Amino acid sequence: MVEPLGIREHGYTCREVVDVASEYVEGALPPEETTLFELHLNFCDGCFTFIDQIKQAAALSRRVSEDELPEPLRLGLLEAFRDWKRS
């Protein structure tokens, strides 16, 4: 029998964790998906660390306003995010 996408012995696969990481950190996953996601984090140190790093980066980014960034840095970050989205 083939398992539905995302449901494995330990919840999500690592790839699926990466695909929905932002939604998880923002609290946008439905409760049943959050449960499966967190099940995976309980068994996968790599994904747990990945999500922890995203949470830390999000918390730090909220501490800096866009107006505080030097223009070259702001433009460089925007370019990096655009390039990252394409890959």
On whether residue 9 sits in a domain, the answer given is: no
Residue 1 lies in a domain: no
The residue segments making up the domain with residue 61 are 14-86
The predicted structure's pLDDT at residue 3: 43
- 24 within some domain: yes
Q: Count structural domains, the chain.
A: 1
Residue 86: CA count within 13 A, CB half-sphere: 6
> Residue 59's domain is classified under what CATH number?
1.10.10
| 79 is a domain residue | yes
Encode 17-40 in three state secondary structure: HHHHHHHHHCCCCCHHHHHHHHHH
Q: Where is average pLDDT lowest: 35-39, 42-46, 67-71?
A: 67-71
Asked whether residue 2 is domain-assigned, the answer is no
Instruction: Quote the CA–CA distance of 7 and 13 in Å, as a whole number.
Output: 8
Compute CA 16 distance to the chain's CA centroid, rounded to the nearest angstrom.
Answer: 10
Residue 72 burial (CB count, 10 A):
8
Instruction: Give the residue from 24, 74, 29, 28 showing the smallest Cα distance to 50.
Output: 24
What pTM value is reported for the model? 0.66
63 band by pLDDT with thresholds 50, 70 and 90? confident
Domain assignment present for 4? no
Looking at the domain assignment, is residue 7 inside a domain? no
Model confidence at 75: pLDDT above 60: yes
